[in-house]
Amino acid sequence: MKRNIFTLIFCAGFFQISMAQPRFGFEILSSRLKTENNGHLVGGASTFYYYEIDRELDPTTYSFTAGAYYILHERHLLKLRIGRHRNGRILDLRAYDDIGSTYTYSGADNPYQYFVLAPSYTYRLLNKKFIIPLEIGLQMNESVQKHEIGFVGVDLYNFDMAMSAGLQYRIANYFIIGLHGKYIHYLSEYQWGIERGTFKPRQYGMELSLMYEL
């Protein structure tokens, strides 16, 4: 009996989505996120030196994405965005070169920048002009920096899961503005193969959005 009820609910929802008139929209987002490391960086080496990490600090970075979305139904959106994504570490470390010299760095900034491709699904709770979006998606990151920049290198490709929820307001028939809380969790370790320790970033913060629906 329960199985039949669930099947009926699923079929009714699918029929409602499939019968709706499909529409499209465009979206731009800007986010401010704090980066933490769910792993621990120990040290590493390059061509001319090796280093030991004494402490990690959490930087705040900014990202920007833009893209289009497909409105399956007023409550269901499929999105695809591209843009620039950033994270990083701030490190206290000691570096040693081949001739025996020692260098101490405090608060060394290691920012990482990526080209990001981000497909996602959004479910919207609607109340007149107010919208509560619940979004989950995948972020595929390609590093746009060389391994030699900074101390800790990162792999060329990395993957994250991204989730967000917030409040949006429809200011006109076609325009929607919003503010969201966002959380990004690593799906793969970021550190380059020669590094000791792990860089497993998780980020959280706020995101502003502007949407235009056709």
Sorted by where each begins, the domain ranges of the chain are 23-213
Q: What is the pLDDT of residues 147-174, one digit of tens each?
A: 555 667 788 899 999 999 999 999 988 8
Residue with tokens 């990001």: 116
147: phi then psi, degrees, rounded to nearest 5:
-65, -25
pLDDT level of residue 109 (50, 70, 90 thresholds): confident
- 133: pLDDT confidence band, cut at 50, 70 and 90? very high
User: Looking at domain 23-213, which CATH architecture does it have?
Assistant: Beta Barrel (2.40)
User: Tell me: the pLDDT tens digits for 22-32?
Assistant: 689 999 999 99
Return the pLDDT at 2.
44
| Residue 122 identity (one-letter amino acid) | T
